[in-house]
Every structure is written in C-alpha cells, then in structure tokens.
C-alpha cells in the first residue's frame, strides 16, 4: 500500500512537469520562423487559400485557445492529426516506435554490461593501465559529439571493413541476426557516450565506499577481494550508479534523434527531424510529450529501485 501511495504521489508530481514541457514546446513552435500552412498550400497559393487552411486547422485562434484545445484532446487520448500527411499522430508514433525501442534497449544493455564492470575494475586497480585507459575513454566519450562517433564507425566498420550496413533497419521478424546486424552501428554510436558516463560514475562511487569501515571489516575477516567488492562495496555504491543510468536516459533520447538520422532508421528520432523540417506541429508536440513521459517513467522506476540496493532508504 505504501508503494502504491508513493507511486501515486510521484505520478501526480510529474503532471505539472509534463504540462510545463508541453507549454514551452507549444509556444516555441508557434513563435519560431516558418509557416506550415504556407508550405502546405504551396508557393502559388493565394492569401485567401492560406487563410482558409489556417482557419480549418485552428491556427488562426489565440495561442492560449490553441493550447487548451490541444491539451484537452491529449487528455482524451487524441494527439491530433499530422498537418502534412493527414495521418493520426498516434498511428505515426506507433509506426515509428519499434526501431527507437530496439536501439534504446540495446544501448542501455550494452552500456550497463560494459560500463559497470569497467568502472569497477578501474576502481579496483586504481592507477593501473585499465584505470588510465578508462579515464581517457570517458573523457573522449564526453568530448566527442554523437554524430562524429557515428561517422567514425561508418568509415571504419562499414566503408573500410565492410562488416555492417551504413543505413537501414530490419525488424525482429526478419530474423535475430539480421535485426542485430542493422542495429550494431547505431548501438555502438550511442553506447560510446553512455559507457563513458556509467564507467566514470561506477569508478568514483566504488572508490568512495572502498575506504568505509564495513569494507575494512570485511577484509579483516579474510574474505576474498572479489567478495568484498561485489557483495559489500558494490551494493552500497549502486545507488549513484543506478541514478546516473536514469539521468543518462536524457542523453539517450537526444542521441536517438541524431543517430536515427545518421543511419536512416525509421524511428521516433527520424520522425522528429522530418516533422521539424516540415513544421508539422502536432507530430512534434506529441513526440516531445512521449519522450518526456518516458523520461519521467524511467526515473520513477529508478527511485523505486533505491530501496532494493540500500536498506537504509525507505519508500516513504
């Protein structure tokens, strides 16, 4: 019951955040340069035709009226209709969700599997060659832009080695091997920054707890170093690591938009870029709400997981 109350309070607290995000995105789209109605009507359209289209789409009303009407439809589960294609936005999002979910989940899996052990080993062998290489890699991961990493992988692994395709996407129904073959370069591109982030935090967090009394006590009992690190130290160092995984979702969302454009993946990131270029307001607003909701949900799950790693943290 206490967990349900906590979830209810956290969900209620996220509503104003999502409303603020939606309002900011709504206003910025309306005041930015470019007119989707003029693009939709064509270069030779008369002012009367443009005005008629604007009235039909409801874009001639005051901003506050447009926002309230759009918000009311969103609450009812209607994200609107694409100005450009005339397709319901929910259908468009459904058609582009699978590639984004696949890239994101694989990226998180690869990053955690590589980043956490790398950070732990670097902390265990502090000052060694692995620790030094990890520091160099994490610095490069933060400094190099995502698109640059993607082009490096394309040049090395695709153009030179010929191992992976440059562009395209194969659904899981086409076979697991073909599915992973097309996603390898996008996942490597996104994982480069994510691994660096997780490894850096894992190393720092573990070093902080290695000097605590309970770690010295465990060593004094004659426990093997592996048991001391993984059973005692790592569990107490897990909260910052789990936290940074949740925070890194924001980096992942931003990276997906760029990566899907580079590798021509038909996901939500590519849909966002195409909609921005076409000034398709309903699609852009809906994708922002979806990304914001996913970020809030993952951080809620991260908060709930704290008690599993640290018994001193209660769900109250």
Number of domains in the chain: 2
Give dist(CA 17, CA 13) in Å, integer. 7
Compute CA distances 115 → 27, 103, 159, whole Å: 39, 17, 28
| Domain, as residue range, for 18 | 2-75
Dihedral angle computed from the Cα positions of residues 229, 231, 236 and 237, in that order, rounded to the nearest 10 degrees: 40
Distance of CA 293 to the CA centre of its chain: 11
For residues 157 and 285, membership in a common domain is answered with yes
For residues 36 and 175, membership in a common domain is answered with no
For residues 131 and 256, membership in a common domain is answered with yes
Closest CA to 114 of 234, 230, 208, 200: 200
For residues 36 and 150, membership in a common domain is answered with no
Q: Is 90 inside any structural domain?
A: no
* Per-residue pLDDT of the chain in tens (316 residues, 90 and over written 9): 666 776 777 777 777 888 888 888 788 777 776 666 766 666 676 777 777 777 777 777 887 888 888 888 888 888 888 887 888 888 999 889 999 989 988 998 998 899 888 888 888 778 788 778 888 877 887 788 888 888 999 999 998 888 898 888 888 888 898 999 999 999 999 888 888 888 888 888 888 877 777 777 777 777 777 777 777 777 777 778 888 877 777 777 777 888 888 898 898 888 888 888 888 888 888 888 888 888 878 877 777 776 666 655 555 5
For residues 37 and 121, membership in a common domain is answered with no
- pTM for this model (two decimals): 0.80
Compute CA distances 94 → 25, 202, 267, 296, whole Å: 21, 36, 10, 20
Q: Is 239 inside any structural domain?
A: yes
For residues 10 and 52, membership in a common domain is answered with yes
For residues 139 and 24, membership in a common domain is answered with no
Q: Can you give the CATH number for the domain in which 173 is found?
A: 1.10.3720.10
For residues 70 and 118, membership in a common domain is answered with no
Phi, psi values for residue 53, rounded to 5°: -65, -40
Residue 60 has a CB neighbour count (10 Å cut-off) of 14
pLDDT of residue 34: 65
Q: Is 131 inside any structural domain?
A: yes
Asked if residue 208 lies in contact with residue 237, where contact means CB atoms within 8 angstroms, the answer is yes
For residues 67 and 146, membership in a common domain is answered with no
For residues 142 and 271, membership in a common domain is answered with yes
Q: Is 241 inside any structural domain?
A: yes
Q: Is 85 inside any structural domain?
A: no
Q: Is 82 inside any structural domain?
A: no
Q: What is the pLDDT of residues 56-66, one digit of tens each?
A: 777 778 878 88
Query: Which residues lie closer than 8 Å to 253 by C-beta, 6 or more apart?
Result: 291, 294, 295
Give dist(CA 142, CA 172) in Å, integer. 32
Q: Is 25 inside any structural domain?
A: yes
For residues 159 and 64, membership in a common domain is answered with no
């Amino acid at each position: 019951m206490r967990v349900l109350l906590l979830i209810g309070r956290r969900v209620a607290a996220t509503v104003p955040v999502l409303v603020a995000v939606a309002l900011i995105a709504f206003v910025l789209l309306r005041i930015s340069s470019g007119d989707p109605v003029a693009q939709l009507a064509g270069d030779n359209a008369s002012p009367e035709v443009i005005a008629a289209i604007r009235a039909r789409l409801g874009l001639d009303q005051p901003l506050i009226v447009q926002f309230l009407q759009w918000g009311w439809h969103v609450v009812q589960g209607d994200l609107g209709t694409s100005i450009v294609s005339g397709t319901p936005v929910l259908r468009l999002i459904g058609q582009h969700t699978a590639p984004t979910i696949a890239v994101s989940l694989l990226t998180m899996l690869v990053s955690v599997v590589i980043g956490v052990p790398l950070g732990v080993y670097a902390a265990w062998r502090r000052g060694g060659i692995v620790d030094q290489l990890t520091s160099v890699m994490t610095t490069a991961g933060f400094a190099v832009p995502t698109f640059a990493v993607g082009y490096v992988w394309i040049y090395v692994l695709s153009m030179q080695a010929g191992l992976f395709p440059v562009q395209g996407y194969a659904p899981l129904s086409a076979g697991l091997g073909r599915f992973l073959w097309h996603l390898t370069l996008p996942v490597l591109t996104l994982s480069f920054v994510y691994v660096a982030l997780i490894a850096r935090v894992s190393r720092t967090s573990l070093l902080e707890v290695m000097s605590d009394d309970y770690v010295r006590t465990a060593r004094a009992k004659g426990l093997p170093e592996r048991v001391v690190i993984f059973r005692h130290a790592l569990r107490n160092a897990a909260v910052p690591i789990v936290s940074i995984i949740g925070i890194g979702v924001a980096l992942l969302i931003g990276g997906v938009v760029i990566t899907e454009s580079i590798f021509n993946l038909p996901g939500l990131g590519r849909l966002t870029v195409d909609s921005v270029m076409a000034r398709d307001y309903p699609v852009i607003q809906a994708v922002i709400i979806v990304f914001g909701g996913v970020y809030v949900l993952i951080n809620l799950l991260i908060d709930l997981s704290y008690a599993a790693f640290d018994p001193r943290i209660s769900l109250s």
